[in-house]
């Protein structure tokens, strides 16, 4: 299986790659990117950033690259990709984002949170966690999808990993 993670030139994307060692990882970013292929991932360009066609650009790149799973992490992609989730599903491309109606609970563009602890959920199952003590394995997040920072205060909150 192949996963495409956006924000490919960022340290955050490189950190997320380690959660998908069973996948063929493709990191992608806008503009020029160095031509690079490693054992862990390849790096490709998404072309010039055009916020009016983000979902279309990502869908085309996923189809060109044979992608099965998409993890968008640029904050400006989240809304557009969440709205196009049905379109991606029609091409058998799963998007690692919460459902559109739940998105506001996990993502606020004015208040982007960061944490050292993070986890990745796919269909409600924990795929990876950076700190096993930060989240219990019996955490039931229904059909939650995405990469989340684990924000600890009086209880654990999940906030989408974005750059």
Contact call for residues 8 and 73 (beta carbons, < 8 A): no
Pairing of strands 36-37, 41-45: antiparallel
Instruction: Note the pLDDT of residue 141.
Output: 65
Instruction: Note the pLDDT of residue 91.
Output: 96
Instruction: Note the pLDDT of residue 154.
Output: 52
Instruction: Note the pLDDT of residue 24.
Output: 92
List the pLDDT tens digit at each of the 163 positions of the chain: 999 999 999 999 999 998 898 899 999 999 998 877 788 888 999 999 999 999 999 999 999 999 999 999 998 999 999 999 999 999 999 999 988 888 887 777 666 667 778 888 888 888 888 877 766 554 556 778 888 888 776 555 788 788 8
Instruction: Note the pLDDT of residue 119.
Output: 85
What pTM did the predictor assign?
0.87
Domains of the chain are 2-160 (3.40.50.20)
């Amino acid at each position: 299986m192949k996963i495409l993670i956006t924000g490919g030139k960022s340290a955050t994307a490189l950190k997320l790659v380690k959660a998908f060692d069973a996948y063929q990882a493709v990191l992608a970013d806008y503009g020029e990117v160095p031509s690079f292929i490693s054992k862990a991932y390849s790096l490709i360009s998404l072309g010039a950033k055009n916020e009016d066609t983000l979902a279309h650009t990502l869908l085309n790149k996923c189809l060109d690259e044979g992608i099965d799973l998409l993890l968008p992490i640029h904050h400006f992609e989240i809304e557009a990709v969440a709205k196009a989730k049905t379109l991606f599903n029609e091409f058998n491309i799963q998007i690692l984002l919460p459902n559109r109606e739940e998105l506001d609970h996990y993502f606020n563009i004015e208040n982007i949170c960061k944490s050292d602890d993070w986890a990745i959920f796919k269909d409600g199952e924990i795929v990876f966690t950076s700190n096993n003590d930060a989240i219990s394995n019996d955490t039931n997040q229904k059909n939650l999808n995405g990469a989340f920072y684990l924000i600890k205060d009086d209880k654990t909150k999940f906030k989408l990993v974005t750059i």
